[in-house]
A and B are shown apart, each in its own frame.
Chain A
Amino acid sequence: GVMERSREQLLRQTCEAVVLGVLHPRTAISLVLQVLSDAGSLLSCCLNAACVALLDAGLPLAALFCGVTCALQPDGSILLDPTARQEQEARAVLTFAIASSERKVLMANTKGSCSVEEMQQCLAAAQRAADTIFQFYRNSVRRRYSKS
């Protein structure tokens, strides 16, 4: 449907910003994501899975990226990685794709309404959370290469 198409476009634009396509001209890189279970924050799960898949496949990347979802609750507090229920009750749900090089923002998607200050706060929180995710990537890769 339209939601899936829009998610595909967001993922594609994020990946295109990081994958070094110059090293593979006239080649199609296709990324297939299968949703096994959806408990909220689907777009950021897709972003994280896409990054790890590209890493595992050995495609040359300029930086890593991760996805973080923030939910703005009606009382103004920020909730990271909301569940499906929290997403529905929230005033606004923002998803950011953050790159590992200087925590730059690759993609921002908002559903609902929020003020500019609130968006900045969510972005700052997401950038802090991105550190944890990148550390997780690093640990996973370390575990994988420790076996050989």
Chain B
Amino acid sequence: MAAERGTAAEALVGQVVLPGDLLLLPAHYDEDAEGERLRLSAGAAPQGRLLCGPGLRRSGAGLLVTKCGLLRHRPAGGGAYWVDSQQKRYVPVKGDHVIGIVTVKAGDVFRLDVGGSEPASLSYLAFEGATKRNRPNVQVGDLIYGQFVVANKDMEPEMVCIDSSGKSSGMGIIGQDGFLFKVSLGLIRKLLAPKCEIIQELSQLYPFELVLGMNGRIWVKAKTVQQTLIIVNILEACEYMTAEQRKQALAKLSGN
């Protein structure tokens, strides 16, 4: 019962990998035995340091796959491998921009539901221009677009609505009206890719405002309720439609 014990990582790039598969790395990566870092995002990696992204874990001389999906590789700066998997459940990651719903207002801290296993906390001072006298007007049930400043498996996640220089850069309370719905994380990543065709095609249909949260939540607002619902239906269906089907659906709508 000689199972495939380790195939070269380069051979499997772009193919489906399953948990339990062992990927063997070229020999020269094993030289740095100290400081094997597992990082989830692209950083400036020094030469020869391999980044082990989501879905992979270091195991002996190779990488063990822990999630099913397509194996991706980026050769820049030492190289990075990760598994592109589709899932609906969000796990908070530091630096991710997400849409949260305020559930509790407890004194100086708001608790937000971000779709993870724990509610995230947001201090009232973490808004642009907020001071102890000038509090932001946040009510229970409001939508907030912010980013995680603390998000690991051991602690409660914490969010802020300002970036490192103190500016809000698009984050904060999301305005009135509009429609919030949930999609899978893979669709969000597809929509956030630069020059996404879906967004370009939709923008030619009606003008609308769109906020994409990495936790699978999308907020849409168009001029009328009907237009908003049409955009919501197209975005939800996009996941399962091919490009031609989408173009046909949009052509039918713009013809009406």
Contact = CB atoms under 8 A, between A and B. Distances in A.
A59 B89 CA distance: 9
Contact of A25 (B57, B68, B153): B153
B117 A24 contact: yes
Interface in A21-56: 23-27, 55-56
Given A25-B154, A127-B1, A145 B66 contact: no
Given A60-B67, A141-B16, A148-B186, 6 more contacts: A20-B66, A24-B91, A55-B18, A62-B66, A99-B20, A101-B20
B86 interface: yes
B3 A62 contact: no
Contacts of A83: none
B89 A103 contact: no
B19 A63 contact: yes
Interface of A: 20, 23-27, 55-64, 99-103, 127-128, 134, 137-138, 141-142, 144-145, 147-148
A147 B184 CA distance: 15
Interface of B: 1, 3, 5, 16, 18-20, 55, 57, 64, 66-70, 85-89, 91, 117, 153-154, 186, 190, 240
Contact of B3 (A60, A101, A137): A101
B68 A102 contact: no
B67 A100 contact: no
B87 A27 contact: no
Residue picked from A25, A27, A57, A58, most chain B C-beta under 10 Å: A58
B153 A138 contact: no
16 contacts: A20-B57, A25-B154, A56-B87, A57-B88, A58-B86, A58-B88, A60-B57, A62-B20, A64-B19, A64-B20, A100-B3, A100-B18, A128-B1, A138-B16, A141-B68, A148-B186
Contacts of A55: 18-19, 68
A56 B3 CA distance: 23
A101 B2 CA distance: 10
A112 to B, nearest CB: 26
8 closest residue pairs by CB, A with B: A58-B87, A63-B20, A61-B19, A60-B66, A100-B20, A103-B1, A142-B16, A27-B117
Nearest to A147: B240
B70 A145 contact: yes
A145 B71 CA distance: 11
Residue picked from B20, B64, B67, B190, most chain A C-beta under 10 Å: B20
A64 B65 CA distance: 11
A58 B20 contact: no
B89 A57 contact: yes
A58 B5 CA distance: 23
